Amino acid sequence: MNDLSKSLKGRDFLSLKDFTPEEIFYLLDLADELKAKLKKGEPHPILAGKTLGMIFTKRSTRTRVSFEVGMYQLGGYPLFLTHEDLQLGRGETIADTARVLSRYLNGIMIRTYSHQDVEELAAHATIPVINGLTDFLHPTQALADIMTVREWKGKLKGLNLTFIGDGNNVAHSLMYGGAKVGLNVTIACPSGYEPLPQVVEEARRIAAANGSQIAVTNDIREAAEGADVLYTDVWASMGQEGEAEKRRQAFKKFQINSELLKLAKPDAMVMHCLPAHRGEEITDEVMDGPQSAVFDEAENRLHAHKAIMAALM
């Protein structure tokens, strides 16, 4: 075991902020390696005999299927646990759930609303806890996104990634992750929908140490100019359904369409964490066009999640 693989064993994966650039590059290299092995049909049962519990209080297609299939491909066993089926749904505490699940499992992946709940679960679990999305962060997504940018562009340092839309969980994780690997990240959002100031400040501090820049603007045209990557996400996230109409008004200009894409570099790639609301934050033409990386990005969730599980568990 080298020093990096030793430093990752047993750790939680709650935020990319908690990992050094070297650790993130180690995970990216491992994800590439596992992807190559899968494509060659080479078995890689790194987690034989191990189990992952997957707790969901929100819906999921990509995260659920990629973790479940990924665990199977690594030789382990995944358990899909909905919040309602667990005693958690009847009031058993997060701390007790963590203590009990730690006696059976080798890792937990959780998708829920409150980031504090995930931190509490991790604090009381003696096994790695992986954040599969909270209202605050979506770090497994950002790792797969960075993998996809490197795959398409052959590098990361100095590239300009512009996120068009809400300063949400995905934007926050792209800011932390981008800052760690030397991507310049610009968030272009309507006034009042900026990323949290605390994240902007921390990401700027991290970026300064890695030679990159973090910017926030309300001007999408300026933000799109010279972009190597144009990224977007839904205008209303899970849990914000009640604000959907208000947000539709506020975000109507914050769309990746062919006109906006023309402002970016000619070889710019387009990304979306999915699920997409086609015709809102992205047009069909762009999403199905030659510059769209969205389905490679979705595929890379599988490889990135396998790297996270293989390294931590």
Binding site for ligand NVA (CB under 6 A): 133, 168-170, 233-234, 237-238, 273
| Alpha carbon distance 85, 81 (integer Å) | 7
The helix (H) or strand (E) run that includes residue 160 is strand 160-164
Residue 138 annotated in active site: yes
Residue at shortest CB range from ligand NVA: 237
Q: Is the dihedral of CA 289, 292, 298, 299 positive or negative?
A: positive
169 binds, among ligand CP, ligand NVA, none (CB under 5 to 8 A by kind): ligand NVA
Binding residues for ligand CP, rule: CB under 6 A, are 60-63, 133, 141, 273-275
The residue annotated as part of the active site, out of 150, 301, 303, 305, is 301
The residue annotated as part of the active site, out of 11, 62, 111, 124, is 111
Residue (140 or 212) nearer to ligand NVA, CB = 140
CB of 28 to ligand NVA, least distance (A): 20
Only one residue has tokens 């080479």, namely 42
Preceding amide of 275 cis, omega within 30: yes
Return phi, psi of residue 154, to 5°.
75, 0
Residue (273 or 302) nearer to ligand NVA, CB = 273
The residue annotated as part of the active site, out of 272, 273, 291, 305, is 273
The residue annotated as part of the active site, out of 141, 166, 228, 247, is 141
Copy the structure tokens of residue 228: 């190597």
Residue 272 annotated in active site: no
Residue at shortest CB range from ligand CP: 63
DSSP letters, 178-233, are HHHHT-EEEEE--TT-PPPHHHHHHHHHHHHHTT--EEEES-HHHHHTT-SEEEE-
Reference 23, options 284, 257, 312; nearest CA is 312
237 binds, among ligand NVA, ligand CP, none (CB under 5 to 8 A by kind): ligand NVA
Residue (125 or 146) nearer to ligand NVA, CB = 146
The residue annotated as part of the active site, out of 138, 172, 247, 305, is 138
75 binds, among ligand NVA, ligand CP, none (CB under 5 to 8 A by kind): none
Residue 273 annotated in active site: yes
Copy the structure tokens of residue 243: 């604000």
Residues catalogued as catalytic: 111, 138, 141, 233, 273, 301
